[in-house]
Amino acid sequence: MPGPGQAPGKMSKPRNTKKTFKRLLSYLGDYKPQLVLVFIGILGSTASSVAGTYLLRPLLNNYIVPLIGKQNPDLTGFIHMIGIMITVYVMGILCSLMYTQIMVRVSSNILKTIRTQLFTHMQDLPIRYYDTHTHGELMSRYTTDTDTLREMLSMGLPQLIAAAVSMISVLVMMFIISVPLALIVIGILVVMILCIRTIGGRSGKLFVEQQRNLGKLNGYVEEMTEGLKVVKIFSREQILKDDFEGINEDLRQTAKKANTLANILMPIMGNLSYITYSIVAMVGALLVIGGTLDIGAIGSFLQYTRTFSMPVSQISQLFNSILNALAGAERIFNLIDEEPEVDEGRVTMVFAREAEDGTLTEIPDFEGVWAWKVPLDDEGKEFKLVKIRGDVRFEDVTFGYKENKTVLHHVSLYAKPGQKIAFVGSTGAGKTTITNLINRFYDTNSGSITYDGIPIKDIKKADLRKSLAMVLQDTHLFTGTIMENIRYGRLSATDEEVMTAAKLANADSFIHLLPDGYQTVISGDGANLSQGQRQLLAIARAAVANPPVLILDEATSSVDTRTESLIEKGMNKLMQGRTVFVIAHRLSTVKNANAILVVEDGQIIERGDHDDLLKQRGRYYQLYTGMFELT
């Protein structure tokens, strides 16, 4: 089966071809002058090919046949005609070069625009969208779908138009030269189309199956490569070989059938074109003998016959690839059309200077205190500044990721400014969900959450999240230096502030041991660092942000107890004066919390400090004493 995030590659058709193509044309509409030149280039290229072939008629009739048998023929006219033909074909080459180069530039610009729209819109999508779509599925929009779209715009569409124009032009010239011969070509054309529909349709379905099996193979290889250590630990190599052999055999069978039919089609088309050529040659010879057709006409017509069958098969192949590209474009447009994250908030976050009497004055720099800028009227002309203290309260909050499955049931809690609130409980109890609601990754189904007395739905999401720093259990580091990764918490931080934050998180000591210290480049999500070191950098990133509220989601779960102890000393300094929410993996880390909330089955069943909860001899007591016995 495909690995995580891998969708089977396959040829597909758009659900709404007309709508998708019309939308794609709207992008092309910005390049009308260039498209006019492209169309002129296609016409010029086709005209040169058709005209060059037709010039064979006067060349044969006027300059070759009359000179047959002469001792000292005058080749002046012949050379002149050859020069004209060369000029015509060179003009056609220049026209082809012109329109292909223009379409490459146009398609590159359009794809840049689409990728920008795609990436920009993805930043505005809610977290819920990413919960239901795999990373591989989203990445395919930037890779497979855009690649097929590029091929269609730069080559597919121009070639399709050129093939259609060429076929029509050649057909018209055939009828001008000889109606009987043109009708013979039309008859064999019908046979060609039937072959394409019968054999091509069957092979197309098999190619879909081949691509699907190829996707399975690629996904299986990727998944097993990522889990190779697990495979070797449990000695499952032979099982992997057997499974791979089965998947590989399925791919071989479908590839054999698909390519067999595809390989049959081209020889059939080629032989039909030879048959057409032979029939036209024989009938044309009879017409020449009968005096109804000249030798030059049959020469030109035979050349047209050779070039006529090429656009027919070309159009069939291009049509399938264009449909596949339009299906990719439709998937891209569907993502762009996804509803963005709704943000109805009007309260913003600013920096302020606090006077001795408590009044606040807005300032532009990261100094002074953090404050909410609350509008006092609907027009937003009058504001008041409210100091951010970190007072967070839940009132009867109910929430579920899905409508039919509630995760939190009537949760009420409060965190006073400067308090450290710890959540403990079994896996899946709802601890992380509570913190996800604080930063509005999701919105509650019912109940309310307030932040310094302001409903968080009234606060702009970006400003709300700026006032929070969050250290996740799964650390993500970006490609760049150590310094840049820590500074990600606050881009305006100086090098000294970054180093101070690293010391606070106890990351400074191991950073200095790296080859280039703070300038050491991290790649591959920090694969060259231990999990504990990566976690320390994430904590330093939160420390440099220096927000009023801090959320730690099992932030020290990946470090040893000695490192954890050192981190806690630094974290205690970071926690001073700010509200902190901690999801605890080790109960020993929450003993100094102002309040410990025991969460089970989406409900808070106990609240109190460490000593109070031990006296209650409830769930926390059972958890704590159980851990104590284990140690």
CA distance 262 to 289: 41
Give the residue among 451, 470, 462 at the shortest CA–CA distance from 348: 462
Radius of gyration of the chain (CA): 36
Per the DSSP assignment, residues forming a β-bridge with 362 are 352
Q: Rounded to a whole number, what is the distance in angstroms from the first to the last CA of the chain?
A: 42
According to the 3-state scheme, what is the secondary structure of 254-274? HHHHHHHHHHHHHHHHHHHHH
According to the 3-state scheme, what is the secondary structure of 394-414? EEEEEECCECCECCEEEEEEE
Give the residue among 514, 513, 515, 487 at the shortest CA–CA distance from 499: 487
CA distance 440 to 437: 5
285, 255 in Cβ contact below 8 A?
no
Give the residue among 269, 273, 254 at the shortest CA–CA distance from 202: 254
Give the residue among 345, 369, 347 at the shortest CA–CA distance from 417: 369
CA distance 427 to 299: 83
Give the residue among 553, 366, 548 at the shortest CA–CA distance from 465: 548
CA distance 173 to 564: 85
Which pLDDT score, from 0 to 100, does residue 590 have?
Answer: 81
11, 320 in Cβ contact below 8 A?
yes
State the Cα angle at 194 between 276 and 307, rounded to 5°: 35
Distances (CA, A) of 505 to 29, 411, 423, 511, 519: 54, 32, 21, 11, 18
Which pLDDT score, from 0 to 100, does residue 88 have?
Answer: 92
**H or E element: which one contains 455?**
strand 454-455
Which pLDDT score, from 0 to 100, does residue 296 have?
Answer: 87
Pairing of strands 549-553, 348-354: unpaired
Which pLDDT score, from 0 to 100, does residue 391 have?
Answer: 93
3-class secondary-structure state, position 423: strand
Residues of the chain with pLDDT under 50: 1-11, 627-631
362, 385 in Cβ contact below 8 A?
yes
Q: DSSP code of 66?
A: G
Helices (H), 337-415: none
CA distance 438 to 444: 10
- 427-451 pLDDT, tens digit per residue, is 888 888 999 999 898 999 999 999 9
Q: Give 12-176+316-340's CATH code, choosing from 1.20.1560.10, 3.20.20.70, 1.10.1270.20, 1.10.3720.10.
A: 1.20.1560.10
Which pLDDT score, from 0 to 100, does residue 3 have?
Answer: 36
What's the CATH superfamily of 392-630?
P-loop containing nucleotide triphosphate hydrolases (3.40.50.300)
Amino acid at 81: M
Q: DSSP code of 474?
A: S
